[in-house]
Structure 1
C-alpha cells in the first residue's frame, strides 16, 4: 500500500543499526509469484551470521517468516527461501492484496537491514456502481452522485464526465475515498437528460472501467415569444415591443421548455381575453384596434409562467375635418382644422390651396387665416405623411372648401346714357359679393 514509506521510517527509528542496503519497489498482479533476491555485502556471510526475512506490518507486530533459509511451517504454502553463502532469495507465492507491504532481509545479531523490498500487489477494482441520492429532482436542488468500487489495489482514481466532456475544477464538489467518489452539485434545467459518467482506473487495468447515468430534472416552464412577421422590436418597460402593419398577416409563437410537459397553454390580450389555446396566435389581417399586450401563459406541475409582448399596429394617416365646407365673412379669422389619426405620428403636414403648397409643418395640423379677404376663397387640402419602421412612407389627405362672404359691391355705374329716340339701350349692372346678391332695378326710384 502507500503507507509503506511511513512504515519504513518508523521501522528505521526503532532499528537504528543498519548498513547500506538495497531498496527496491516492485509491483505485481494478484495471483502471480514474486521473488526477492538479496546479495550480501562483503562483511556478511551465511556461515558467520543468521539471516532473517521479515514482513513489515503497520498495525500489528512484524512477522518473522524465515531464519537461515527455513520457513516456519505455517507459512510454507505462501513463502519459500533459498540461502546461499553470499545471498538469499525469498519467494511470495500467489500474491494477494494482504501481501502488499515491505519485506526486509536482515542479520539477527545486529538487526542490520541488508535488503528492502516494497511490494504493491495490483488488483483490478470491481465494476463501479453509480447512484443518485434522489428520484424526483427539481431545478436548483443539490444532487449527489456516488460512484463506488471495491477491492482495487492501489485504490482507483475517479474521473467524472458530463456528456463525454471531462468535468474539471471539482475540488469543492467531490469527496473521494479509497472506495468511492461523491460528486455534489446544484442542477439546472440544462442538466435534464444529460449523461453523467464515472470512470475508474488503477495500474491493474488496461482500460478504465466506466458507468453512466442520465439525470432527469423537473423544472418550471421557460417561455419565449417569437414573432415571425415583425419588422422591428425593442425593449420598453421590461415588455418587448413589436411592430405590425395594418392589413398584413401576423404570427406570434409561444416557444417553451418545460419538464414535465405543460398541462395548459393559452394567450391573453391585455391580461383578460383568451385569444388562443394553442402555441400560435395567427391574425390574417391586422387591424389597428388589435394593438395591445399579448401574454402567453404556460403551466405545468411545477409552476405557471407567462411572458408578454406589446403589439403596436401601425397604419397610414387617417385625416378628416369637422366640415368639408366653411363659410366666413370677409375680414374675419378662421381656423382650418385637420383631425389626424396616425401611427406612427406624422413626420410632415402640408397644406395646399387649389393644389398649390402654401404651408408645411411637422406637427401642426391646423391652418390659421386672419383678416380673410375674398381671394382667400378656395379648396384647401391637408396632406399628412408618416413613415413606418421599415421606411415605407404613406400619406392621406382631406379637402376643405373655404367660402369668404362679402357685402355686395356694384362694379359698373352709369352717370348718364345718351340715346336717340327709337333706339334700343342695354343697361348692365355688375355686382360682386357672397352669397350671390339679389339685383333690383328701379326707374325714377320706383
Structure 2
C-alpha cells in the first residue's frame, strides 16, 4: 500500500509561482486607440519550462496559457481581440491586442508559473498601459469669430481689450494648450480642461490683454502639445493695430523773422499708424492746401509711419497776424 501511494505521489507534478524573492519587472506602454499593441512579459534566459502564464487587466483575467494542456485563450474584455506570442525557451512572451479600445487601459499583470523552482527568472511583470487619442486640429477665436491662420482682418486700436481663445482638438489625455508671443511662452493666460468619462477631452487656453504699441508686428501663436504628436501643432496670427502719434517736432524758425519774407515751417509727426492727419492753422484759421506739401517717409510694412508737412508762408500775406501761432 505504501509503495502504491508513493507511486501516485511521484506522478503529481509540482509547479511554482514565485512572487516572494523572484524578480518583478515594471514598464510603461502607451498606444493610440484603433491600432495593435504588443505588451511584453519578460521571462529571462535559461529558465525552466513555463507551466502556465496568466494575464490580468486590473483584477480581470484576460488571457491564459498552458502549453502542456494546449491552452492559449483570450478571455473577458479581450475575447477575439488578443493572441499570445509565446515560444518555448524564449526570453520574452508578448500579449498582442488588436484594435485597441479606450477601455483597454489599465494595469496589466503577467503571472508566470514554472515547472521547477527558480529564483533566476521573472515571475511577475507589471505593465501600465495607457490608451491615447491624438488631437487632430486647433481653433483660435476672437470672441465668437474664428481667426484664420496668418493675418487677421480685424483692425484693433491702441487700448482695445482683446480676448483670444485657443481650443485644442479632442484628445486623450487632454492636450496641453499654450500661448506664445514672438517665440516666448506667455504666462498671463487661463487654461481649462474638459473631459468625458473615457478621459477624452479638449484643452482651452484664453488670453486676455489690452492692445498697445508693443503689439505691432507681434506674432501670437497657440501651440498644442500631446504625447501622441511627434511635434506640437500650432496656429499663429498678427494683429492689425492702429496707434496714436507719440512725438511731434516743430522746426523752421529759431529766431525772429522779418515781415514780408518767406519762411519754411516743418511739422514732423512720429509713431502713428495709419499716418497722422496734420493740418496747419494760423491762430484759428486753417491755411490753404496749396500752402502745404506732404511727404510720408517709407518704413517697413505695418510699422508706425511719420507724416511730414512743410509749410511755406509769406508773412506779408498776413500782415496783421504775422506773429500768430501755427
The higher-RCO structure (CA 8 Å, 6+ apart) is: 2
**CA-to-aligned-CA distance 1:155-212 (integer Å, 9 cap, x gap):** 44444344xx2133x3333426452222222222443675422233434434432223
Residue 229 of structure 1 corresponds to: 252
- Whether the 8 Å CA contact 2:250–2:266 is kept in 1: the answer is yes
Give me the whole-angstrom Cα distance separating, in 2, the residues matched to 1:171 and 1:113.
48
Taking only aligned residues, the RMSD between alpha carbons, in angstroms, comes to 4.3
- Is residue 197 of structure 1 aligned with residue 221 of structure 2? yes
Find 1:118's aligned residue among 112, 128, 136: 128
Residue 311 of structure 2 corresponds to: 282
- Is residue 35 of structure 1 aligned with residue 35 of structure 2? no
Secondary structure of 1:222's counterpart equals coil
1:15-414 matches, within 5 Å, as: 20-40=23-43, 46-47=50-51, 51-56=53-58, 62-68=59-65, 69-72=72-75, 75-82=78-85, 88-106=93-111, 114-121=124-131, 123-133=133-143, 138-162=157-181, 165-168=182-185, 170-175=186-191, 177=193, 179-191=203-215, 194-217=218-241, 221-222=244-245, 224-227=247-250, 229=252, 245-246=257-258, 247-253=261-267, 255=269, 266-270=279-283, 272-275=284-287, 280=309, 282-285=311-314, 290-294=322-326
Give me the whole-angstrom Cα distance separating, in 2, the residues matched to 1:214 and 1:274.
39
Unpaired runs of 5+ residues, structure 2, are 1-18, 66-71, 114-121, 146-153, 194-201, 295-308
Q: Highest Rg: 1 or 2? A: 1
Shift of the 31–158 alpha-carbon distance from structure 1 to 2, 3 Å rule, reads same
**CA-to-aligned-CA distance 1:107-162 (integer Å, 9 cap, x gap):** 79xxx971112334554321211111277855334422121122334544444344
Shift of the 73–103 alpha-carbon distance from structure 1 to 2, 3 Å rule, reads closer
Secondary structure of 2:287's counterpart equals strand
Shift of the 78–230 alpha-carbon distance from structure 1 to 2, 3 Å rule, reads farther
* TM superposition score normalised by structure 2: 0.58
* TM superposition score normalised by structure 1: 0.45
Residue 349 of structure 1 corresponds to: none
Task: Report how far residue 245 of structure 1 moved.
Answer: 5.0
Give me the whole-angstrom Cα distance separating, in 2, the residues matched to 1:98 and 1:292.
85
Shift of the 223–21 alpha-carbon distance from structure 1 to 2, 3 Å rule, reads closer
Q: Which moved more, 1:68-77 or 1:124-133?
A: 68-77
Give me the whole-angstrom Cα distance separating, in 2, the residues matched to 1:173 and 1:71.
49
Give me the whole-angstrom Cα distance separating, in 1, the residues matched to 2:111 and 2:43.
10
**CA-to-aligned-CA distance 1:314-350 (integer Å, 9 cap, x gap):** xxxxxxxxxxxxxxxxxxxxxxxxxxxxxxxxxxxxx
Give me the whole-angstrom Cα distance separating, in 2, the residues matched to 1:106 and 1:204.
30
- Whether the 8 Å CA contact 1:268–1:276 is kept in 2: the answer is no
- Whether the 8 Å CA contact 1:134–1:143 is kept in 2: the answer is no
Shift of the 207–104 alpha-carbon distance from structure 1 to 2, 3 Å rule, reads same
Q: Which moved more, 1:78-87 or 1:191-200?
A: 78-87
Q: How many residues align?
A: 252
